[in-house]
Structure 1
Amino acid sequence: MPKETKNANHYSRLHLGLGVVIYSALLGVVVALIADCYEIGFKYLAIFWHEENNLLHYVPTWLLYGAGPFIAGPILYFIISRIPEKRAHNPADLITGIHIDNGRINALAALLTAMASAISIAFGFSVGYYAPTVQLGAGMGAIFHRLKWIRPAHAYISVGAGAAAAIAAIFHSPIGAVVFVHEVLFRFFSVRAFAPVTIAAVTAYVVSSELFDKVMFLEVAAHYRPDSPTYLVAALAGVLAAFVGMMMLRTILRLQQFNHQRQHSMSMQFFIASAVTALLIVAVPQVAGSSLQAMQGVLSGTQFSILMLLVIFVAKFLATSTAFGFGIPGGIFGPTLFIGATLGGVVADCMVLIAPSMASAHQIIIITTMAAMISAVLGSPIAMILIIVELTGDFHIISVVMLAVVMANVTAYRFMGTSSFFDIQLKSRGFDFDAGRDQLYAEHHGITDLISDSYVAIDENMTLAEVEHALIEAGKTAAYVVDEDGNMGGRVSLVDVEMAHKKGGEQQTLQAVIETDPPVLYRNTSLWQAIQLMSHSNNRCLAVIDGESNPKLLGVVYTQPLMTRYFAQLRSLRAEENVS
């Protein structure tokens, strides 16, 4: 290669690399500013609504709490109705967009969901703002991608970088954000995406730290080095948290099934959720919204008695299950974190009652139970470990947190077959990631563009000699019986025709060799289904008909282009995981 060409290629790569760095940093800055303003906005609204202020001082506190969800309901209905699916989006939608639609997501739906979630939190629904933050960042990343600084085929990188930037800005967890994007959204480690995602996350973290007065998300009194008894209690707390998490997920699923069976409208679902939530937060105000202030009280270990912790735990469990069971937009991270905190508070108080010498481990047991609870519900154990450690700022607790998280994950997977709320949502929509990315992609892409019209169509009244001649002349090994309306009546192979012709001569009829029920594909057959059927049929091609109730012959699909498409898809998926 000439020296000038090498220099040009080197300059092109350098220019592209610098462009990606600038693009990622700029995305991080923009997302950080928007995400922090988003957080300030709904926190201010929540404070204005729930705390004493000059405008609402004459309204009884219980009435403010009780009226909040009913006021939010119509607003949520108005916003969610603008989303095509008539439901709030969540990380499961981002995952399917990344894996099925080449990284393309509905940015407007993501931003509307983030807006609706802010209303939900501010007016008292028991939802969190982690998932809405991911939606907000991903939506901004999708919009930013239109600048075309990153190749169109790499849209997933912009979505992931935006999500990581938003998490890092609001939760001050850049490491956890990068791992979360790869572990939950991408479901694979992408060398190509790692640099942009990391740069966006770190930039957002720095901008948020410098421009906004941030405090540690979870304030820990002092560093503590866990001892052997602490590890034992943490492991038991992890198992307990897993069972509580499974119970909550099953409760949510049952409520969703109840809505489906009763065919409740969106407005009816919001009304029921508002009524239940209003009753719960009037009785136990600590369960309203994201419960951040109450969580600090639980972490202190002195604000609530063990009986009060149990009451808050039950109320938050019911409020959260109701919100998600009836379709209220918001994230499940925050409520799960708080439920884990109250459960950990109960475990820690019992521990101190049994072994007073372990009083110094009180706070760490609460934190490890929180981490275990989140991991049991959301999965992604590595990301959850890092996020909890970054939220507390105490890396001394990482080993005990790891143990609790692993125990929770193993338990949840053993008894539910999954340890992720997102995976449950995905499976309910027909996306099973346990099968692998290649099968998932093939299951959700069709064969329509592989249908060929290069086949032999015959009439059932033709003689064996005529069919044999037609097949040999066309160079085909099979023909398809088609009536005057274009409907397929069966398949005839050249081998069968030749054998029948030699055996019976002109007296043998075509009907004797017609395979009336051959394996066929349909217009909506997936690439994966076609491969599976082709492998079992031992045929070079399969006929494609319009549908089970409509046997109109559309054409045939041959093995070679089918497998060529599949292997091209595999190469594309592998390319996402490597730099090219």
Structure 2
Amino acid sequence: MLETLSKLFNRKQKPPYQSGINLLLLLVLSVVIGAGVAYATLGFMKTFERVVNWVYFDWSETPSGRYTHKFDSRNKLQFDFRGNNEHGLKGLKQTQWATNGTCSILTTRDGERLDPVQADWQYSNKKVQITIDKAGGATLDLVFVNSDLQPENKSRAGFIEHLPSPDYKGALLFKYKQGSFTDVPKWHILAALTGGGLFIGLLYVALKLPRGHGPADAIIARINNDGILPIREGISTALICASSIGLGASVGRYGPAVHLGATLGSGFGHAFKLGRTNTVTFLGCGVASAIACSFNTPIAAVIFTHEAIIGHYSLRAFAPITIAAVAGNAVAIHHGRFFDGFQNLTAPAELTLDQYPLFAIVGLVSGLFAIIYMRSIVFMGKTVKKTNIPLWSRPMIAGLAIGIVALWLPNLLGLVEETTTQVIQDEGVEYILQVLCLLIIFKIAATALCLSCGMHGGVFGPALCIGAMVGAALAMAYDASYYQIFALAGMGACISSVVGAPIATILIVFELNQNYSVATAVMVAVVISNLLTNKYFARSFFLFQVQAAGFDINAGREVLILQRRRIKEVMEKDYFTIEPEADLNAVEKALRANPESDLFVTDSQQKLLGTINLAGAWDNLKKNSNQTAADLAKLPEHTLTEDTDLNRGFEIIEEFVGVSIPVVENEENMRLTGIIYEANVIQAYNEAVKTARGEEQGLE
């Protein structure tokens, strides 16, 4: 089967029907890749969720975090539990989980999110009793069913007002999502992060992985390695990331999911030997499926893949990447994986003209913080490398440091989706301006420290949280009525600057929120922030990493094709040489026989000693002196080696004046093996342009 597919896709002379068969196979394989990557992404997310619960929340018998009962797509009931816990150094004295606290009841009815209702909760006798203040002190008793909660009996007095319909008689089961780090005893956080950091450091050693990989490596593979990503490094990185996220490191999950998807898609194309173009396409299929599975945004996933990873919009790649994104989203929905953090937000139906400058200001400030965020990661990475701290101990140091900060600010930990959703949805109930400012500063520092010290993960999630908090802080400083829309605009502005995908960012927000007013506000903020980061940092953090690795991010596809080819592929082997001892008569005879070619002086080992041309040697030939070929030879101004890439050869040809440039085996032995004419390189360039255009138009 491997050989059959390889022959079908790589056949040079294709019959008329072959293109249709190839396209059909490409689409079928894209479904396979999309579904496979989606299952891998779900497995990855399930792994770190299981780790975080095992490390932190399975130790508690009391409720923590969010529990949701979803009636249908437009109606749900949600409990957010918070324990009465001490923070800071006092929190270290608290050895047990809190047995009482507050509970926020959030109701979405017919697609409209109602104001939250505050309640108190008490845990005793294996029951959770919620006292709803607005219901005249009415209570609701809940019992645990595994990790979920359900009412102990069918009595719902004082509680019926929170149901989508007063006549709803069905069973209620509040599904547990994830606990809140604010409820975890502080000694537990400190011990878990420090010990877990040591485990991650030893994991690096055991896996023989010098560093974690990410989306930038997928871009480099597309540029420089025919789209091939090493499977071993991809799986090892996923294990490191799952461990880091599960321990509560201040990193994101989407970067690792993108890299894992790219690795699996690339590995599929490479295993079947389907050629560079198809391997890059399958790499894109893996990325699109991972994004669609994570966010339930297949349209944005397709645009993100072309915008941030593939680097151009290819007609050939568009169809399979789109199919893979749809397949990934379908698998996620089939298994009940929904991302609904930004739905049912309050926003004006229409925005007035005088409001748009405010969103531009949000974009400007968010872009500034995006630059600070990215530069902090770069600076911290360089600083850690200079210290020469062993790799195995770096994650432990980072874990200890952020564990200490988390004594006061536990919301720094984990995937921050809980924090981000609170910031965007709860209209500032949980936060005041000073706390938001502290969270922004320490979130940037914590993420930079984690990534630099080997607690590997993504940069997207923290950027999402930072941008939302920046927008929320601006709203609180200016006008609280703009809270949610400023938070969303800041979030979009920050993440688009970090990942370099402004169109995809706008589509992500629109697909998740389906609010046109929000989308236009985000558009303005995204444009301004991207202009700022393009000017003062780079088009994205990923492209900055690619450029730092020595690759030209501004090069066209034809340049990349030329960089992959070598001079020895196009050099001419029909050239004329002469011994250094030859007299002038022999030189003249050779030049007159080949007046339009250079004469190359070589020794018995074919080492290049110099070149002679008719114009330069004419005066000496007329004198008929006793000089030899060695006396007339001049060292060539330019030489090329066999392994020089064609793009570099093209740059040298532009500066060259003459007939041909000698090609030597290498610069050490200088053994002449061929020559290059200007026409050879120009022809190769034209072929590269044709290939690049063919790839974009689906002809290659």
Instruction: Give TM-score, length-normalised by structure 1.
Output: 0.89
Q: Which stretch of the first structure deviates more once superposed, 546-555 or 189-198? A: 546-555
User: Are 1:403 and 2:524 an aligned pair?
Assistant: yes
Look up the match of 2:624.
Answer: 505
Look up the match of 1:198.
Answer: 322
- Structure 1 residues 77 and 470 mapped into 2: Cα distance closer, same or farther (>3 Å)? farther
Look up the match of 1:462.
Answer: 582
1:391 Cα offset (Å): 3.3
Tell me the distance in 1 between the aligned counterparts of 2:33 and 2:300. Answer: 18
Tell me the distance in 1 between the aligned counterparts of 2:583 and 2:23. Answer: 68
- Structure 1 residues 524 and 266 mapped into 2: Cα distance closer, same or farther (>3 Å)? farther
Look up the match of 1:355.
Answer: none
Q: For 1:490, what is the secondary structure of its paired residue? A: strand
User: Are 1:246 and 2:366 an aligned pair?
Assistant: no
Q: Which stretch of the first structure deviates more once superposed, 74-83 or 242-251? A: 74-83
1:326 Cα offset (Å): 3.3
- Structure 1 residues 541 and 105 mapped into 2: Cα distance closer, same or farther (>3 Å)? farther
Task: Pick from 622, 640, 649 the counterpart of residue 521 of structure 1.
Answer: 640
Which has a greater percent of strand?
A: 2
Look up the match of 1:100.
Answer: 224
Q: For 1:506, what is the secondary structure of its paired residue? A: coil
Tell me the distance in 1 between the aligned counterparts of 2:451 and 2:541. Answer: 11
- Structure 1 residues 496 and 385 mapped into 2: Cα distance closer, same or farther (>3 Å)? same
Q: For 1:283, what is the secondary structure of its paired residue? A: coil
- Structure 1 residues 152 and 423 mapped into 2: Cα distance closer, same or farther (>3 Å)? closer
Tell me the distance in 2 between the aligned counterparts of 1:262 and 1:522. Answer: 39
Once the two structures are superposed, what CA deviation does each residue of 1:320-368 show, in whole Å capped at 9, x if it has no partner?
111233343211000111111111121110012xxxxxx3321010010
Higher relative contact order (CA 8 A, sep 6+): 1
Contact 1:20 1:149 survives alignment (8 Å): no
User: Are 1:136 and 2:252 an aligned pair?
Assistant: no
Tell me the distance in 2 between the aligned counterparts of 1:185 and 1:282. Answer: 38
Tell me the distance in 1 between the aligned counterparts of 2:682 and 2:17. Answer: 38
Look up the match of 1:3.
Answer: none
Task: Pick from 13, 18, 27 the counterpart of residue 21 of structure 1.
Answer: 27
Look up the match of 2:535.
Answer: 414
Q: For 1:434, what is the secondary structure of its paired residue? A: coil
- Structure 1 residues 36 and 11 mapped into 2: Cα distance closer, same or farther (>3 Å)? same
Tell me the distance in 1 between the aligned counterparts of 2:416 and 2:49. Answer: 11
Once the two structures are superposed, what CA deviation does each residue of 1:348-401 show, in whole Å capped at 9, x if it has no partner?
10012xxxxxx3321010010011111222222111111222233434311110
Contact 1:242 1:408 survives alignment (8 Å): yes
Tell me the distance in 1 between the aligned counterparts of 2:272 and 2:448. Answer: 41
Tell me the distance in 1 between the aligned counterparts of 2:562 and 2:410. Answer: 49
Look up the match of 1:488.
Answer: 608
1:199 Cα offset (Å): 0.9
Alignment of 1:443-462 (within 5 A): 443-462=563-582
Look up the match of 2:487.
Answer: 366
Once the two structures are superposed, what CA deviation does each residue of 1:435-482 show, in whole Å capped at 9, x if it has no partner?
322224434543243455433333333222212333455676212333
Task: Pick from 328, 346, 352 the counterpart of residue 222 of structure 1.
Answer: 346
- Structure 1 residues 17 and 488 mapped into 2: Cα distance closer, same or farther (>3 Å)? closer
Contact 2:301 2:504 survives alignment (8 Å): yes
Q: For 1:40, what is the secondary structure of its paired residue? A: helix
1:47 Cα offset (Å): 3.0
The AA in structure 1 aligned to 2:363 is: G
Tell me the distance in 2 between the aligned counterparts of 1:149 and 1:267. Answer: 37
Look up the match of 1:5.
Answer: none
Contact 1:455 1:476 survives alignment (8 Å): no
Look up the match of 2:245.
Answer: 121
Look up the match of 1:318.
Answer: 445
- C-alpha RMSD over aligned residues: 2.8
Look up the match of 1:167.
Answer: 291
1:427 Cα offset (Å): 0.8
Contact 1:490 1:518 survives alignment (8 Å): no
Q: For 1:124, what is the secondary structure of its paired residue? A: coil
Contact 2:583 2:626 survives alignment (8 Å): no
1:513 Cα offset (Å): 3.3
- Structure 1 residues 450 and 19 mapped into 2: Cα distance closer, same or farther (>3 Å)? closer
The AA in structure 2 aligned to 1:386 is: L
Contact 1:431 1:440 survives alignment (8 Å): no
Look up the match of 2:406.
Answer: 281
- Structure 1 residues 565 and 318 mapped into 2: Cα distance closer, same or farther (>3 Å)? same
Tell me the distance in 2 between the aligned counterparts of 1:219 and 1:227. Answer: 23
User: Are 1:539 and 2:539 an aligned pair?
Assistant: no
Q: For 2:625, what is the secondary structure of its paired residue? A: helix
Contact 2:55 2:247 survives alignment (8 Å): yes
Once the two structures are superposed, what CA deviation does each residue of 1:178-236 show, in whole Å capped at 9, x if it has no partner?
00010111111111111111111112212211222424133443343333343222110
Once the two structures are superposed, what CA deviation does each residue of 1:477-527 show, in whole Å capped at 9, x if it has no partner?
21233345554332222332344212x123455455322352112354321
The AA in structure 1 aligned to 2:510 is: V
The AA in structure 2 aligned to 1:107 is: I
1:15 Cα offset (Å): 3.9
Give the aligned length: 565
**Which consecutive residues of structure 1, in runs of 5 or more, have no partner in the other structure?**
1-7, 353-358
The AA in structure 2 aligned to 1:383 is: A
Look up the match of 1:155.
Answer: 279
The AA in structure 2 aligned to 1:389 is: F
- Structure 1 residues 371 and 144 mapped into 2: Cα distance closer, same or farther (>3 Å)? same
Alignment of 1:40-59 (within 5 A): 40-51=46-57, 53-54=59-60
- Structure 1 residues 385 and 81 mapped into 2: Cα distance closer, same or farther (>3 Å)? farther
Once the two structures are superposed, what CA deviation does each residue of 1:59-96 show, in whole Å capped at 9, x if it has no partner?
97223222333334344345545778722221111112
User: Are 1:387 and 2:512 an aligned pair?
Assistant: no
Tell me the distance in 2 between the aligned counterparts of 1:231 and 1:334. Answer: 26
Tell me the distance in 2 between the aligned counterparts of 1:496 and 1:61. Answer: 86
The AA in structure 1 aligned to 2:501 is: S
The AA in structure 2 aligned to 1:492 is: I
Tell me the distance in 2 between the aligned counterparts of 1:539 and 1:277. Answer: 64
1:533 Cα offset (Å): 0.9
Which has a greater percent of helix?
A: 1
Task: Pick from 338, 343, 347 the counterpart of residue 474 of structure 2.
Answer: 347
- Structure 1 residues 93 and 83 mapped into 2: Cα distance closer, same or farther (>3 Å)? farther
Contact 1:31 1:162 survives alignment (8 Å): yes
- Structure 1 residues 239 and 259 mapped into 2: Cα distance closer, same or farther (>3 Å)? same
User: Are 1:573 and 2:686 an aligned pair?
Assistant: no
Tell me the distance in 2 between the aligned counterparts of 1:513 and 1:328. Answer: 65
Look up the match of 1:356.
Answer: none
Q: Which stretch of the first structure deviates more once superposed, 190-199 or 463-472? A: 463-472
Look up the match of 2:155.
Answer: none
Contact 2:284 2:309 survives alignment (8 Å): yes
Tell me the distance in 1 between the aligned counterparts of 2:418 and 2:320. Answer: 34
Contact 2:251 2:456 survives alignment (8 Å): yes
Contact 2:228 2:266 survives alignment (8 Å): yes
Higher-Rg member (1/2): 2
The AA in structure 2 aligned to 1:391 is: L
1:557 Cα offset (Å): 3.1
1:403 Cα offset (Å): 0.3
Once the two structures are superposed, what CA deviation does each residue of 1:553-580 show, in whole Å capped at 9, x if it has no partner?
4443343333333322222222111123
Q: For 1:489, what is the secondary structure of its paired residue? A: strand
The AA in structure 2 aligned to 1:274 is: G
The AA in structure 2 aligned to 1:227 is: T
